[in-house]
Amino acid sequence: MQEIVYPGDLIADTQIRAPNVYVENGKSYSMVLGFKDSSGSGIIPFEGGWVPKIEETVIGIISSERNNVYEVDLGSHHRALIIGGKYERFSFQIGDVVEATVKDIEDGRTIILSYPNALKEGTVISIKPSKIPRLIGKNNTMINQISQGTSSKISVGMNGMVWIRDGNVALATAAILRVEEEAHVPGLTGRIKEMVEKR
């Protein structure tokens, strides 16, 4: 197992720019609990909130509508909006699940979404946002494996919400929750493969 890094641990005696590393007095320290990234100098955190980035895909639930402006609940403290225009009219209902792209982030907490796409029917589950990269896997390997093994349609939002439809939804949900729990245990791809192909 890789070496665990704690907040405040010295990473380098020089200034480095890497994920989850901060610089003070010319030295670099870790700011999370996690382990060292084998392919870079950053730290992969065990847990963590979601920090939105532009052009990320998110999944949310429409919570209110007013004058063609829809507010979306992304399961975080952010306020996310889909703003319709003169030529762009949407017809979402409150409670609809939508997939959208982050277009802009204003003052750190208001997110403007674009290209909304309603996800009809299906199930939405919420997992820790820090585990989403592991769920997707390198070149989408992990999510494709679950999707093919259970013949489900799966859509993943970087904010931690996952939408599943068709196929064996129960098995897909179990597999996703298992990825969340065991994200840092080596050999996960093999175990998930075994899990989805056994039935």
Angle CA 121–72–54, to nearest 5: 110
Residue choice 16, 182, 193, 195 for contact with another protein (CB under 8 A) = 182
Residue 51 CB partners (closer than 8 Å, separation 6+): none
Q: Give the single-character DSSP code of 149.
A: H
Distance, CA of 150 to CA of 125 (rounded, Å): 16
185 near another protein (CB under 8 A) = yes
198 near another protein (CB under 8 A) = no
Total residues contacting another protein by CB under 8 A comes to 30
Shortest approach of another protein to residue 128 CB, angstroms? 8
- As given in the structure block, the two tokens for residue 92 are 């979402």
Residues 88-147 that bind another protein (CB under 8 A): 107-109, 130
Residue 93 CB partners (closer than 8 Å, separation 6+): 62
- As given in the structure block, the two tokens for residue 3 are 């070496």
Closest C-alpha to 19, from 5, 1, 40: 40
Residue choice 17, 53, 66, 77 for contact with another protein (CB under 8 A) = 77
Nearer to another protein, 29 or 92 (CB): 29
Pairing verdict, β 27-30 and 161-165: unpaired
Q: Give the single-character DSSP code of 3.
A: P
Q: Give the range of 61-69, 81-89, 167-175, 177-185 binding another protein by CB under 8 A.
A: 177-185
Q: Write the burial class of residue 79 (CB in 10 Å: 0-12 exposed, 13-18 middle, 19+ buried).
A: middle
Q: Helix or strand or coil: residue 141?
A: helix
Residue choice 28, 76, 145, 150 for contact with another protein (CB under 8 A) = 76
Residues 46-65 that bind another protein (CB under 8 A): 46-49, 51
Nearer to another protein, 146 or 152 (CB): 146
Q: Give the range of 4-12, 80-88, 119-127, 142-150 binding another protein by CB under 8 A.
A: 4-12
**x/- site string to another protein, residues 9 to 48, per CB under 8 A?**
-x---------x-x-x----x-xxx-----------xxxx
Q: Using CB under 8 A, list all residues that contact another protein.
A: 1, 4, 6-8, 10, 20, 22, 24, 29, 31-33, 45-49, 51, 76-77, 107-109, 130, 181-182, 184-185, 191
